[in-house]
């Protein structure tokens, strides 16, 4: 039976996760993101159903009660959640799913999917992280403070992740991230259940050399 | 402390392992093969000390007694062995080492290095394997029979390996193999001990947002 893998990618704000994730989606087949639900306001150019499902706090709470989320969390005063059905449906079709989620969500998913493959993206230094967040200019000082404090706590979680990619040079980080996905597709269990027909690897029992 | 990883690559004869391994060495930095000892005769173009250390059976037995091998085995009526010191020296310098060894040797090394990363290369089908071995034309019928019977036993070991690469199209197989090495270099333990300075990820404790 074909079955995709679940990849969890986490990073502190400013590590470049969003850019890296969209490069990944563009370059690999059979890899899809799970679109999350959120109660935060859309940023310019963000599209409902593509970037996020933008829902009200009331709708979000109803979904929690219906156990519709694989994980959900409150981050930066907003709610974020990953729909359980959407993920399971893709995996059962043999599609690899990428969850772009924070460290709290990652912990919840890891418990439900011990086979999930976890990747953490780090900035090359704290200084660079601060500079990147300030350069965005879209945050007021209080929000920036919350983001920086959260980033600090998030970075401490790196040791709970299988893989770590340091985003100093974007192209290098992207190649490293891509290698991780490609390598996981070569895990023996996966190759033997989907890529190759084991019967084709057996000789004819009447072959001359079997005597 | 920098420390390389030990990669074990095994395959039945005719899977294309030798070609893939030399492509790997050419394309990646910080990756070296461990040159094995063998009692078999050199093939044309094979160089002592580069392809193998070609030794007599008497010399090989002396090295066994001196416990100089990380693993050794008798395959196709010849002895093959991997020098322990050569491997350990490279690993301690942070160099990744590739062992191009058969399934029996792999089992011995795995016991001594539970952290070794194991990769199996499969032909796309038994039919292709037979064709490739016959096309070599360098074997008499009895040797070919031994190789085919060994290949059959070796293929059964694939499930004991972490990764599997099916060598149908050489370029594709090479990229998959390369991804495995690159991905293993992104394992969190390894990145945090060699690639990044954890101190650089900590903010100044007097930063404005720490208040």
A-B CB pairs within 8 A amount to 130
- In whole angstroms, give the CA distance from residue A11 to residue A195: 32
CATH architecture of A6-182: 3-Layer(aba) Sandwich (3.40)
Q: DSSP readout, B113-155?
A: -TT-EEEEEE-S-HHHHHHHHHHH--S-HHHHHHHHHHHHHHH
pTM: 0.88
Picking from B161, B187, B180, the residue whose alpha carbon sits closest to that of residue B3 is B187
Q: Nearest CB to B176: which of A123, A145, A186? A: A186
Is the pLDDT at B211 greater than 80? The verdict is: no
Task: Give A-chain residues touching B120 at CB under 8 angstroms.
Answer: 188
Range with the poorest average pLDDT among A183-197, B19-33, B177-191: A183-197
What does the pLDDT look like over B13-58, one tens digit per residue?
889 999 999 999 999 999 998 888 999 999 999 999 888 999 999 9
| Residues facing residue B97 across a β-bridge | B6, B32
pLDDT digit string (tens) for B115-133? 999 999 999 999 999 888 8
Q: Is B71 helix (H, G, I), strand (E, B) or coil?
A: strand
Q: What pLDDT score does B96 carry?
A: 97
- Give the residue extent of every domain in chain B: 6-185
Calculate what percentage of chain A has a pLDDT beyond 70. Answer: 98
Query: Is B124 close to A200, i.e. CB distance below 8 A?
Result: yes
pLDDT, tens only, A85-103: 889 989 999 999 999 888 9
- Which range (A93-97, A167-171, A204-208) has the least confidence? A204-208
The whole-angstrom separation of Cα B184 and Cα A163 is: 8
pLDDT higher than 80, residue B138:
no
Q: What is the DSSP letter of A90?
A: H
Q: Roughly how many angstroms between the first and final C-alpha of chain B, as a whole number?
A: 35
- For domain B6-185, the question of CATH label 3.40.50.720 is answered with no
A36-38/A78-83 β-pairing: antiparallel
């Amino acid at each position: 039976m074909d079955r995709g893998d679940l990849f969890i990618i986490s990073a502190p704000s400013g590590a470049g996760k969003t850019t890296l994730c969209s490069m990944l989606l563009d370059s690999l087949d059979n890899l899809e993101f799970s679109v999350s639900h959120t109660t935060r306001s859309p940023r310019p150019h963000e599209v409902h159903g593509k970037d996020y499902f933008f829902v009200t706090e009331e709708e979000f709470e109803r979904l929690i009660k219906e156990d519709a989320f694989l994980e959900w969390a409150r981050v930066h005063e907003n709610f974020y959640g990953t729909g359980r059905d959407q993920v399971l449906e893709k995996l059962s079709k043999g599609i690899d799913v990428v969850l772009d989620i924070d460290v709290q969500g990652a912990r919840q998913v890891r418990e439900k999917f011990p086979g999930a493959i976890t990747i953490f993206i780090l900035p090359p230094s704290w200084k660079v992280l601060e500079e990147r967040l300030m350069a965005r200019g879209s945050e007021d000082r209080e929000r920036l403070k919350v983001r920086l404090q959260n980033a600090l706590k998030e970075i401490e979680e790196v040791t709970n992740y299988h893989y770590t990619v340091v985003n100093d040079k974007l192209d290098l980080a992207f190649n490293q991230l891509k290698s991780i996905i490609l390598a996981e597709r070569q895990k023996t269990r996966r190759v033997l259940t989907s890529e190759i027909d084991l019967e084709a690897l057996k000789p004819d029992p009447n072959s001359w050399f079997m005597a």
